[in-house]
Amino acid sequence: MRPLRNSCEVAVIGGGLAGLSAACHIARLGRLVTLFEGSYMFGGLVATVDEVHGLGVPGHFSGQDLAIHLVEEARKTQVRIIEASVATIETGAVLGITDAEGHAYRPEVIIIASGATLKPLGVPGELEFAGRGVSRCATCDGGFFRGQDVVVTGSGDAAVEEALVLAKLCRKVTMICRGPLKAKRDYVEKIASRDNVEFVWDSEITEILGEQGVSGVRLRHVKTGAASEIACTGLFPFIGVVPNSGFLPGALLTESGHVRTDAGLATKDKRIFAAGAVRQGYGGNILQAMAEGVSAAEA
């Protein structure tokens, strides 16, 4: 058994699919790997997905099922898991990481897989009604709105997935879309077949209404400017994501806050790699996230 010169030879930042895949693969290659995850939920945004598609394996399972499997695999392969976020990274002659608890680490290599966070609407009432009608997870909170009218805003895969989950529980689901649906064809076909789903096109939410909880949303038509209101008890916003990169040196980032990498997933600092939703050029596919994690580990 070799001596443990450095228990953090490789640091993986982020416990989403890309980070967990990277950490497991590095551990199998015989390196000592430490994974940092500061949230209560491993798997990243996919952990809120009711049914995972596109992995090419039979059966139905949730994003949370997939995340739990990868965490169990990480523990089996002796990945050291630190349940704390990373506060800063130093990129001097020796790499350095300081976590949110103030502990310091000196990895030889870093893989950034910190993922992304759902983009806020930035409208009045959003913060006030968080947890009191505004939710980011239909799988988690949909049961609270059983038999009620809810609104989903967004036009991509995530928004349509949420609407499909809610349509099984709620009396009516109204989708607010600024433009055409951008979701996968099978998602579009499924949502079109639901009798209790309605669409409001070319519109955006300007205010969330209510007193003790959400009672409705105020809309603006993006072409005419006309205002309108829709009554609802719940709102599920899915208008895109922003990268979780605030702890990273600006020299590694694009103007949008994504990590810039080459074709081999390396940053301008060749000791630091990036994979998944935090990386510029990531396509948004679950399978791609896992494959990028493995590729970064190999690199």
For residue 205, tell me if it sits in a domain: yes
Q: Could you tell me if residue 3 is inside a domain? A: no
Q: Are residues 289 and 152 in the same domain?
A: no
Same domain, yes or no, for 158 and 213? yes
On whether the CB atoms of residues 197 and 163 are closer than 8 A, the answer is: yes
pLDDT digit string (tens) for 235-270?
999 998 999 999 999 999 999 999 999 999 999 999
Q: How far apart are CA 206 and CA 113, in angstroms?
A: 33
Tokens encoding 204: 């955006």
Q: pTM, whole model, 2 decimals?
A: 0.83
Number of domains in the chain: 2
- The answer to whether position 125 is within a domain reads no
Residue 14, domain extent: 10-118+241-298
Buried b (16+ CB within 10 A) or exposed e, 40-70: eebbbbbbbbbebeeeeeeeeebbbbbbeeb
**CATH code, 142:** 3.50.50.60
- Domain assignment present for 252: yes
User: pLDDT tens digit string along 4-54?
Assistant: 456 789 999 999 999 999 999 999 999 999 999 988 778 777 766 666 665
Chosen domain end from 203, 237, 271: 237
What's the mean pLDDT when you consider all of the chain? 91
Q: Is residue 1 part of a domain?
A: no
Domain-located, residue 253 = yes
pLDDT band at 1 (very low <50, low <70, confident <90, very high): very low
Among 217, 237, 257, where does a domain finish?
A: 237
Q: Which of 199, 219, 237 is the last residue of a domain?
A: 237
pLDDT at 3: 46
Residues 215 and 248 in one domain: no
Same domain, 160 and 113: no
221 and 245: one domain?
no
Mean pLDDT of 67-72: 87
Give a yes or no: residue 128 inside a domain: no
